Amino acid sequence: MIPTAARLGGGARYAYPKEVWSPAGGWWTRPANWKSSTAIVGLAVSLTTYGIWAYSAGREVRHNAPTREIPSMLWSNQAAKMGVRDESSLAGQGGSHDH
């Protein structure tokens, strides 16, 4: 007995319904514009993240000066006022003393 063409391929891809709606586009999506859509979403996420970061950094308040170097000292306006942004004082070296 020679198999027919219908049996060679194993039938349909999967036994899922043909009409499926989902926000992502169904069972096997391969949208032609996925690169531009990904770029747009990436840009939106980046801009939102930057906006939230800038809002948070502008409202950051420290009541005590940090005892060691922390990342927010690089952009905090308050760090300059407290005098903790000076790197010679962070490294434990006297700023005006020559040894």
Q: How far apart are CA 73 and CA 84, in angstroms?
A: 8
pLDDT given at position 33:
83
Q: What digits encode the pLDDT tens for the residues 52-77?
A: 999 998 888 888 888 888 888 888 87
Sign of torsion over alpha carbons 37, 38, 42, 48: positive
Q: pLDDT exceeding 70 applies to what percent of the chain?
A: 54
- Domain ranges for the chain, please list them: 36-83
Is the CB of residue 42 less than 8 Å from the CB of residue 61? no
Sign of torsion over alpha carbons 6, 7, 8, 14: positive
Which of the four pLDDT bands, split at 50, 70 and 90, describes residue 98? Answer: very low
Q: What digits encode the pLDDT tens for the residues 28-48?
A: 667 778 889 899 999 999 999
Which residue has better confidence, 60 or 26? 60
Q: pLDDT exceeding 90 applies to what percent of the chain?
A: 17
Indicate yes or no: pTM above 0.75.
no
